[in-house]
Amino acid sequence: MPPAPVDLLLPAGLDGADALALLESRLRLEIGGARNRDRVLLDSFDGRLRAAGLGAERAAARRGTATIELREAGAPVRRAQVTPARRHLTHELPEGAVRERLVPVLEERALLPMARVRSSVRSLAVLNGDEKSVVRLSIEAPVAILATGRVPLGTRLSVRPVLGYDGAYERTLAALRDELGLQAAKRSLYDDAVRAAGGKPRGVATKVRVPLAPGTHTDAAAALVLRRLAEVAEANVAGAVEDLDPEFLHDLRVSIRRARAVLRELRGVLEPRERARLRDELKWAQALTGPVRDLDVQLLEWPELTDALDGARGPELEPLRALLERRRARERVKLARGLRSARFAGMLAAWRALADGRPAGDEKATPRAVLPIERTAGGRIVKVYRRMVRDGRAIGRDSPPEALHDLRKRGKELRYLLELFGGAFEDDTVEETVKALKGLQTVLGRFQDRAVQIESLRALRDELAGERDGPAALIALGPVLDLLGADQAAAREEFEERFEAFAAKPRRKAVRAAFGGRGR
C-alpha cells in the first residue's frame, strides 16, 4: 500500500511566491507553470464519490464543452468531454474511463455541482539525483465562489507519493512539517468548499437511523422517527421537482411510505384527528408521486430488458421506449405542479407539526402514548411476523397471485417497524431478522413488479399500435412480455425456499426472544 497523500496548510499571509521560495530553500524541485482554474466540484446528492475516495470537477464555464476530471489516489486523472449541464447522469457521459469508473459508484444518481472554487495552482515535483520525480506537490490558493461573495479557503500544499519512493515521501513530509512548520489541513479542499457553500460534504443521508433508548415513551419515539422522515422528505423535494435524478423521487416516496407506516402501526399514540388528517394527506402524496416512479422503473430496467432479447428486437422496441418517455414527461409536469402546490406544502407542515407537537395529554385518545417503545413496537413486530408466518404457510402452488402480494405488503410493514424502531432493540437480532426478511421480500417484490410491468405494458398496446413503426414494436413486445412472465414464474419458484429461511424455527424463537410482547 502506498502512503496516503497529505494536504498541508501554508501559513496565513503567505502568497504563492513566498511559499515557493520557502519550499525551494529546503527541497530540490522541478517547478511547473501556474494556472488559474475556475471549476465546480461535483458529487452526488448523497456524497457517493467522496465516500468512494473519488473527486470530480469540471470547468465552471456554462457554454461550449468542458472536461470532467475524475481523481482517485493511485490512478491517473480520468477525463471526459461534456456539455456543461445542471446534472450529469452516467448514461449521458461519453463512453470511456470516467463513465466506466462512475457507473458502479453512482448507479442512478447524478453528478451535481456542490461548490465552485477559483484558484491559482502550481504543480511541483521533488527530484532525486537522477532528476526523477520522487514526490509530487502542488500549491493552490483557492477561493469559494458563493452567490453572496467569496470566501478564501487558505493556501494548501498537496503532497502526493510516487510509487516506490516511500523514503523520499517520508523525508519530504518531515522537512515540510518539522523544518518549515507546516500543519496538516484538517479537511480536504472539497469539504472546505462545500461547507463554505452551506452544504454537507458527506452528502445528504437518506437512511433513517434514530437511536432510541429503552423506555422511551412511544409518542416521543414516534415523534423522533417522524421528524427524521420529514427531514428526508424535505431534502428530496427540490431534486424531485427539478428531476435531477430518479433517486430524489424514490427517496421522497420511501419517506412518505414510512411515515404512513408509523401512523398506521402506532395507534393510540398520536392525537387522533391530526393523525387521521396526515394519513389522508400522505396517501394523496403517495398517489401523486406514483405514476412517474412506475415509469422510471420501466425506463431504468429498459437496457436490461432489451439486452435479454434477441439483438434485432431491441431497436424494434424503440417506439415503446419513446412512448414511455413521452408519458413520463407528461406525468412529470403533473408531479412538479403537485410538489409545488399549497396542498403538498401543507402536508409537509402537518407532518412537521405532528412530529414537533406537544404530546396530546389526553389519555383516552392516546392510551398507548406513554408505553415504552420496545413494548409497542416489539408487540407489533412479533404480531406482524407471526401473521406473515401463518399467511406464508397457507400459500401453495395453486394460491392466487394476490396471496403473495398481500404477504409482501405485510413484509413491508415488518421491515419498516424493524428499520424505524430497531434502535430500541439489540442490533444483531434486528439485522438478522431484516436480512431474512430481505431475502423473502426480494422474491415477492420481483413477482409483484413483473406483474405490474406486464399489466402496464399490456395497457400501452392500443396506444403503441397507433405509433409510427408501432406494429413492429407490438410484435417485439410479445417476447418482452414472455421474458417478464418467465421471470415472474422463476420468482414464484424461489418463494418456498426463501420463506422457509424466514419462518424457520430458530428464527421464530429469536424473534420472540428479542421483541417479546403479546402484541396489541
Partner 1 sequence: MKVVATYSIKGGVGKTSAAVNLGALAAGAGLRTVVWDLDPQGAATFLFRIKPKVKGGGRRLIRERDPLAVMKGTDIEGLDLLPADFSYRNLDLELDRRKRPLEGITRVLSRLEDEYDLAILDCPPSISLLSESVFTAADLLLVPLIPSTLSVRTLDQLRSFLAGADQSPPDVLAFFSMVDRRKRLHRDLVASLPTELPGVSGVAIPSASVVELMALHREPVVTSAPRHPAAAAYRELWEHAAEALA
> Quick check: 114 and 197 in contact, CB under 8 A?
yes
Smallest distance, partner 1 to C-beta of residue 29, A:
13
Cβ closest to partner 1, residue 121 vs residue 224? 121
Element (H, E) at 56: strand 54-59
**Where in 147-266 does DSSP place strands (E)?**
149-152, 156-161, 183-184
Cβ closest to partner 1, residue 70 vs residue 106? 70
Instruction: Say how far apart CA 353 and CA 275 lie, in whole Å.
Output: 11
Cβ closest to partner 1, residue 163 vs residue 312? 163
Q: Give 8's strand partners.
A: 157, 184
Smallest distance, partner 1 to C-beta of residue 163, A:
4
Using left for φ > 0, alpha for ψ between -120 and 50, and beta otherwise, residue 325 falls in alpha
Which cell goes with 401? Answer: 397471485
Cβ closest to partner 1, residue 70 vs residue 484? 70
Instruction: Say how far apart CA 110 and CA 86 lie, in whole Å.
Output: 10
What residues line the site for partner 1 (CB under 8 A)? 70, 74-79, 96-98, 125, 130-133, 136, 161-165
Q: Position 409: which residue type?
A: K
CA 121 to chain centre: 33
Contacts (Cβ under 8 Å, ≥6 apart) of 492: 404, 447
Q: Position 78: which residue type?
A: R
Smallest distance, partner 1 to C-beta of residue 419, A:
34
Smallest distance, partner 1 to C-beta of residue 65, A:
17
Q: What are phi and psi of 244, to 5 degrees?
A: -70, -40
Cβ closest to partner 1, residue 5 vs residue 401? 5
Cβ closest to partner 1, residue 147 vs residue 163? 163
Smallest distance, partner 1 to C-beta of residue 487, A:
31
- SS3 string, 303-354, reads HHHHHCCCCCHHHHCHHHHHHHHHHHHHHHHHHHHHHHCHHHHHHHHHHHHH
Query: Helix 218-242 vs helix 342-356: angle between axes, to the nearest 10 degrees?
Result: 150
Cβ closest to partner 1, residue 161 vs residue 378? 161
Smallest distance, partner 1 to C-beta of residue 173, A:
16
Cβ closest to partner 1, residue 12 vs residue 163? 163
Cβ closest to partner 1, residue 161 vs residue 392? 161
Element (H, E) at 409: helix 401-421
Element (H, E) at 281: helix 272-300
Instruction: Say how far apart CA 437 and CA 408 lie, in whole Å.
Output: 10
Smallest distance, partner 1 to C-beta of residue 79, A:
6
Smallest distance, partner 1 to C-beta of residue 124, A:
12
Q: Position 309: which residue type?
A: L
Burial of 356 (0-12, 13-18, 19+ CB in 10 A): exposed
Contacts (Cβ under 8 Å, ≥6 apart) of 513: 429
Smallest distance, partner 1 to C-beta of residue 93, A:
12
Smallest distance, partner 1 to C-beta of residue 47, A:
23
Cβ closest to partner 1, residue 72 vs residue 318? 72
